Amino acid sequence: MLQGKKVVLGVSGGIAAYKACALTSKLVQSGAEVKVIMTEGATEFVTPLTFQALSRNPVYTNAFDEKNPEKIAHIDLADWADLVILAPATAHLLGRIANGLADDMLTTTLLATTAPVYIAPAMNVHMYDHPAVKENLLTLDHYGYKFIEPGDGYLACGYVGKGRLEEPENIIRVIEESESQVQPLKGKKVLITAGPTKESVDAVRYFTNHSSGKMGYALAEEAKKLGADVTLVSGPVHLKAIAGINTIKVSTAQEMYQAVLENFDTQDIVIKSAAVADYKPKYQMDQKMKKKEGPLTLELERTQDILKTIGLKKTHQYVVGFAAETDNILHYGREKLSKKNLDAIVVNDIGNKEIGFQSDQNEVYVLTQKGEEFSISTRSKQEISKKLFDIFINDMMGESE
């Protein structure tokens, strides 16, 4: 799997840097072309000359050492790489890249690359278990970085426990297994809507709903893992942006309608998981509406029906809708599937307080235009996303046959 691959190996300043020498050699033996970037700390443990001899390429140590005036070195290297490996990745390096710092050759290259990045941490067992390090690992996982877990054993500091850099053979095995995974959506464009919308009443108040956007964001992340070029149209949510995904932020139903329609024609799959307002105030006040005696009556008008519009407009697109119901959920799901000319619909029972809006878990039913029905029992929204794409992809393949 590594034959002909262009690999950037980032080596940071830990005692495990000596293992990176063996890793460089084994990568070259596997047929990869390797270019090594060393942090200043790494050069205290191993000399650049060692990596130059093993990789048969120049070694990069200084972001300001521009050898070729026609190119910016860290940008050129970032574009050149098919994949990046950080081994060893110290706690300090994890903290810098998790916070987007770019103060040396390695971190500037990492910010600039779009290649897959594999991180092999190595540090003292207590450092690895520190809350700050754990938080940085979670952040990097959210950004889409991949991890090669450290091993258990005797550490250079004298402790025994988790934190030892994984052996070079296992690092290569994990990378080869990951790189060989099938990406059924590679080359496909997927548009997903997520979150609620907000419809202003006056300068202070607005109508919205309880949607957290978690389901839509989980779907977007899964589509990206499956190789898709993902566009996420997101209402106002409290979720981190997903690295590598084109996120269009909107607030109102009209803004979401426009964003979806502007991008619709080029998409292969469209999943409308957002909870869009069906009504909005007919008149919106620029000033704060003052409290008065007695009841208040507001005149509402319908918003544009995004799902119905794209269901009627679709040509080659596979269109999926979501239905949040409280009773007769399958009946209303089938009705919506037919009325809006969808290929599939995902129905969930928001009357169940343990799942759905705001929750990290959900359970859903999937109905397809072909009359198939699937039930996905309670589990995390990430796991549900995987199962949903299995259903959608199989359904699409059936259409192509």
Do 285 and 347 sit in the same domain of this protein?
yes
Do 323 and 204 sit in the same domain of this protein?
yes
Token pair, residue 75, equals 């940008």
Do 143 and 283 sit in the same domain of this protein?
no
Cis peptide before 295 (omega within 30 of 0): no
Whichever domain contains 81, its CATH number is 3.40.50.1950
Do 294 and 381 sit in the same domain of this protein?
yes
- Which structural domain, as residue segments, surrounds residue 334? 189-400
Q: What is the pLDDT of residue 311?
A: 96
- Which contiguous run of DSSP H or E holds residue 313? helix 306-313
Number of folded domains in the chain?
Answer: 2
Do 30 and 149 sit in the same domain of this protein?
yes
Token pair, residue 172, equals 């290569």
Q: Is 5 annotated as a binding residue?
A: no
Q: What is the pLDDT of residue 153?
A: 63
Question: Residue 401's pLDDT band (boundaries 50, 70, 90)?
Answer: very low
Report the candidate in 196, 193, 198 with the shortest Cα–Cα distance to residue 280.
198
Q: Is 357 annotated as a binding residue?
A: no
Q: Is 64 annotated as a binding residue?
A: no
Do 216 and 164 sit in the same domain of this protein?
no
pLDDT of residue 107 exceeding 70: yes
Q: What percent of the chain has a predicted confidence (pLDDT) above 70?
A: 95
Q: Is 45 annotated as a binding residue?
A: no
Question: What's the pLDDT tens digit per position in 152-207?
Answer: 666 566 655 667 889 999 999 999 988 877 789 989 999 999 999 999 999 999 99
- Which contiguous run of DSSP H or E holds residue 128? helix 125-128
Q: Is 184 part of a structural domain of the chain?
A: no
Q: Is 103 annotated as a binding residue?
A: no
Cβ-Cβ contacts under 8 Å for 29 (sequence gap 6 or more): none
Name the phi and psi angles at 159, rounded to 5: -75, 160
Q: What is the pLDDT of residue 66?
A: 85
Q: Is 1 part of a structural domain of the chain?
A: no
Q: What is the pLDDT of residue 195?
A: 95
Do 171 and 267 sit in the same domain of this protein?
no
pLDDT of residue 127 exceeding 80: yes
Question: What's the pLDDT tens digit per position in 3-15?
Answer: 999 999 999 999 9
- Which contiguous run of DSSP H or E holds residue 356? none
Residue where one domain finishes, among candidates 161, 179, 197 = 179
Residue where one domain finishes, among candidates 179, 204, 221 = 179
Do 232 and 134 sit in the same domain of this protein?
no
Q: What is the pLDDT of residue 159?
A: 59
- Which contiguous run of DSSP H or E holds residue 224? helix 214-225
Residue where one domain finishes, among candidates 179, 209, 236 = 179
Do 171 and 201 sit in the same domain of this protein?
no
Q: Is 193 part of a structural domain of the chain?
A: yes
pTM for the whole structure: 0.69
Do 11 and 130 sit in the same domain of this protein?
yes
Do 147 and 208 sit in the same domain of this protein?
no
Do 53 and 194 sit in the same domain of this protein?
no
Per the residue annotation, which of 157, 261, 300, 391 is the catalytic one?
Answer: 157
Q: What is the pLDDT of residue 158?
A: 63
Question: What's the pLDDT tens digit per position in 200-212?
Answer: 999 999 999 889 9
21 is known as an active-site residue? no
How far, in Å, CA of 195 to CA of 214, rounded?
7
Lowest mean pLDDT among 153-157, 177-181, 310-314, 330-334: 153-157
Q: Is 48 part of a structural domain of the chain?
A: yes
Residue linked to tokens 């054993």 = 153
- Mean pLDDT score of the chain, rounded to an integer? 91
Q: What is the pLDDT of residue 143?
A: 85
Q: Residue 263, class by beta-carbon neighbours within 10 Å (0-12 exposed, 13-18 middle, 19+ buried)?
A: middle
pLDDT of residue 383 exceeding 90: yes
